[in-house]
């Protein structure tokens, strides 16, 4: 007899995602992913100046703020066909790469690693054995016996008080947990070290973006950073040298800790390379532009059909019709007025119509995006596979290194097909992070080289024409394809739609009743104890399900909360 299990909320950072699964015979037979709050930011933007949209849309989230700011200014610049100074591109690139590195580190260690690591088991570990094992895999300075002993004593203090503090609410002792105590101790130590390291990425974003979260330096036409080689009042060489030092420290951690830890966890759970495959139609967009018109990129993107890398079709520019013409969204199973079939984002509508949770009807505030009428998986896995298919050498090299490490731990050959899985999404994210931290250093070199030539320009003034123009701002965000779509008439916003990564992955069923990525990947997932659905969380968490981008609050009673008057 089947059993219905409801997990609400799901995520450790955002609590708007609900997942329902039907478990039968120890496996998930059917799943529903539901966004539990409405977004509505699109409606706030109607009638406003397009130059203000970036400051409003980045309030969609309190974490991934920069991605929406960048996608928004890119949408306006795309509509205007506005060329940017390359220095503005380099500064923007460094911000989004530092943000991505931060996001990946936090996702693995602080949001999902505890699905695989049994914290309390670390108390049984031998710190000397743990140090010997860690030092055999990496030259990281934080892998000593003294460090692990200190962490174990700290953890013992938590347990001794009866409170696990930051480690509360884990399924400790669950039969699906199988790491030996020494690896658990290593992972707990790196969890704590990652709390310190992730700050370096935030410092880079803060220096270049003015503040974080919610950067203040982007504008339609470039960035507000004034460059100089001899002034303390602007972005000068002295501050950029501090940025470089933090980049180097991030690279050390990513390559010698993060990449290794993911390989050890992956190699210790080889059965999870066969779980969570789901949708293998992948989509990513090119990013890190190297010219002012978004036609040359450091990181390629495109579409892969059916998991076959030979089918890769490249998306070449941010004006590529292959991407712009292929996206549409359905609201058949979403709490919106509908009945018009899937709509292209330029014609998208955001009119709420709540009906309560209906298994076969409407059950989510998320819309259901498709690419040429097919649901897609987006995120680091599609990104890495696309870059491998495109022949991007750094990605090929890091992917081969990661798979070699996994094979060593698993004591069997693990190939690239293993990436189409729950644990594969973690491995791909670590590979993407290694590629991105190297690219972050390269963008720093490019900016310094440009300044050395005397080029200090960072802004081109936009001019808005009369009549109607349209534009899309693409960004390959940490969680996957992000696109903002804008319709401008006579210098004011007429329509605005955000198609975000978590909407792609957490979508409800589409117009043809096909499941979204979460729902498809959960089918067949083993569940040992339905009341403790750790295995379900492992697969959902592997996507990094930050749902704030997809949802926000609506008050159907239309009660005023606060009134703001512009001067």
- The answer to whether the peptide bond before residue 213 is cis (omega within 30 degrees of 0) is yes
pLDDT at residue 556 in the model: 58
| pLDDT over threshold 80, residue 168 | no
pLDDT at residue 558 in the model: 63
Distance of CA 94 to the CA centre of its chain: 16
Length of the chain: 567
Q: What is the mean pLDDT of residues 381-394?
A: 98
Tokens of 352: 């709420």
Say if strands 313-315 and 301-304 run parallel, antiparallel, or are unpaired: antiparallel
pLDDT one-digit tens code per residue, 197-231: 999 999 999 999 998 888 989 999 999 999 988 77
Q: What are the strands, taking DSSP E only, across 162-312?
A: 218-219, 222-223, 282-283, 287-289, 297-299, 301-304
Q: What is the mean pLDDT of residues 409-433?
A: 96
Give CA–CA dist 101/279, Å, rounded: 26
Give the three-state DSSP class for 333: coil
pLDDT one-digit tens code per residue, 500-543: 999 999 999 999 999 999 999 999 999 999 999 999 999 999 99
Q: What is the mean pLDDT of residues 370-379?
A: 98
pLDDT at residue 549 in the model: 54
Residue from 283, 282, 347 nearest 320 by CA: 283
- Residue entry with tokens 């899309």: 472
**In sequence order, what are the beta bridge partners of 496?**
486
Give CA–CA dist 150/495, Å, rounded: 56
**pLDDT category, 383, cuts 50, 70, 90?**
very high
Q: Where are the alpha helices (DSSP H) in 210-326?
A: 237-253, 259-268, 321-324
In eight-state DSSP terms, residue 34 is E
| pLDDT over threshold 60, residue 406 | yes
pLDDT one-digit tens code per residue, 461-484: 999 999 999 999 999 999 999 999
pLDDT at residue 37 in the model: 81
pLDDT one-digit tens code per residue, 321-343: 999 999 999 999 999 999 999 99
Q: Which residues contact 460 (CB under 8 A, 6 or more apart)?
A: 82, 83, 84, 85, 221, 222
Give CA–CA dist 181/69, Å, rounded: 43
**In Å, what is the CA distance from 146 to each residue of 32, 122, 129, 143, 266?**
47, 15, 12, 8, 26
Residue from 363, 559, 481, 496 nearest 41 by CA: 496
Q: What is the mean pLDDT of residues 31-36?
A: 94
Please state the pTM of the whole predicted model: 0.94
For residue 164, count other CB atoms closer than 10 A to its CB.
15
Q: Which residues contact 425 (CB under 8 A, 6 or more apart)?
A: 276, 379, 380, 381, 419, 542, 543
pLDDT one-digit tens code per residue, 64-112: 789 999 999 999 999 999 999 999 999 999 999 999 999 999 999 998 9
Q: Which tops the pLDDT comparison, 256 or 564?
A: 256
């Amino acid at each position: 007899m089947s059993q219905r299990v409801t997990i609400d909320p799901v995520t450790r950072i955002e609590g708007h995602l609900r997942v329902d699964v039907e478990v039968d015979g120890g496996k998930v037979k059917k799943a529903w992913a539901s966004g539990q709050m409405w977004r509505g930011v699109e409606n706030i933007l109607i009638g406003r100046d397009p130059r203000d949209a970036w400051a409003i849309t980045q309030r969609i989230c309190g974490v991934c703020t920069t991605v929406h700011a960048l996608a928004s200014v890119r949408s306006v610049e795309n509509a205007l066909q506005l060329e940017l100074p390359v220095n503005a591109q380099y500064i923007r690139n460094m911000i989004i790469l530092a943000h991505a590195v931060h996001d990946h580190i936090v996702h693995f260690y602080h949001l999902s690693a505890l699905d695989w690591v049994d914290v309390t088991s670390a108390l049984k570990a031998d710190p000397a054995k743990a140090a010997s094992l860690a030092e055999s895999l990496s030259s990281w300075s934080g892998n000593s016996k003294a460090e692990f002993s200190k962490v174990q004593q700290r953890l013992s203090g938590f347990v001794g008080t009866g409170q696990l503090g930051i480690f509360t609410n884990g399924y400790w002792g669950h039969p699906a947990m199988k790491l030996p105590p020494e690896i658990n101790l290593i992972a707990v130590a790196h969890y704590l070290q990652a709390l310190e390291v992730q700050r370096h990425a935030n410092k880079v974003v803060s220096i270049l973006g003015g503040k974080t979260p919610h950067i203040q330096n982007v504008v339609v036409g470039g960035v507000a950073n004034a460059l100089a080689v001899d002034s303390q009042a602007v972005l000068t060489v002295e501050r950029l040298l501090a940025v470089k030092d933090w980049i180097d420290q991030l690279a050390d951690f990513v390559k010698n800790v993060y990449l290794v830890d993911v390989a050890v966890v992956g190699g210790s759970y080889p059965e999870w390379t066969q779980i969570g495959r789901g949708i293998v139609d992948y989509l990513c967009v090119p990013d890190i532009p190297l010219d002012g018109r978004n036609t040359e990129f450091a990181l390629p993107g495109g579409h892969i059909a059916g998991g076959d890398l030979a089918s890769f079709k490249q998306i070449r520019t941010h004006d590529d019709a292959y991407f712009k013409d292929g996206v549409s969204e359905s609201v058949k199973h979403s709490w919106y007025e509908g009945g018009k079939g899937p709509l292209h984002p330029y014609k998208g509508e955001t009119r709420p119509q709540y009906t309560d949770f209906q298994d076969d009807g409407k059950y989510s505030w998320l819309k259901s995006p498709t690419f040429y009428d097919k649901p897609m998986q987006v995120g680091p896995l599609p990104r890495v596979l696309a870059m491998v298919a495109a022949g991007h050498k750094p990605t090929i090299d890091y992917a081969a290194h990661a798979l070699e490490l996994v094979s060593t731990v698993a004591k069997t050959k693990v190939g690239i097909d293993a990436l189409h899985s729950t644990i594969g999404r973690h491995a791909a994210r670590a590979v993407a992070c290694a590629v991105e931290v190297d690219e972050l250093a390269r963008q720093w070199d490019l900016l310094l080289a440009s300044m050395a030539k005397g080029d200090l320009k960072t802004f081109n003034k936009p001019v808005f024409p009369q009549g109607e123009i349209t534009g899309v701002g693409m960004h390959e965000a940490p969680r996957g394809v992000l696109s903002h779509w804008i319709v401008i008439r006579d210098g004011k916003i007429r329509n605005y739609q955000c198609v975000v990564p978590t909407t792609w992955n957490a979508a409800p069923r589409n117009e043809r009743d096909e499941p979204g990525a979460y729902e498809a990947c959960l089918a067949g997932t083993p569940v040992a104890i339905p009341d403790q659905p750790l295995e379900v969380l492992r697969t959902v968490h592997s996507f990094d399900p930050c749902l704030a981008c997809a949802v926000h609050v609506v008050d159907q009673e239309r009660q005023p909360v606060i009134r703001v008057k512009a001067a």
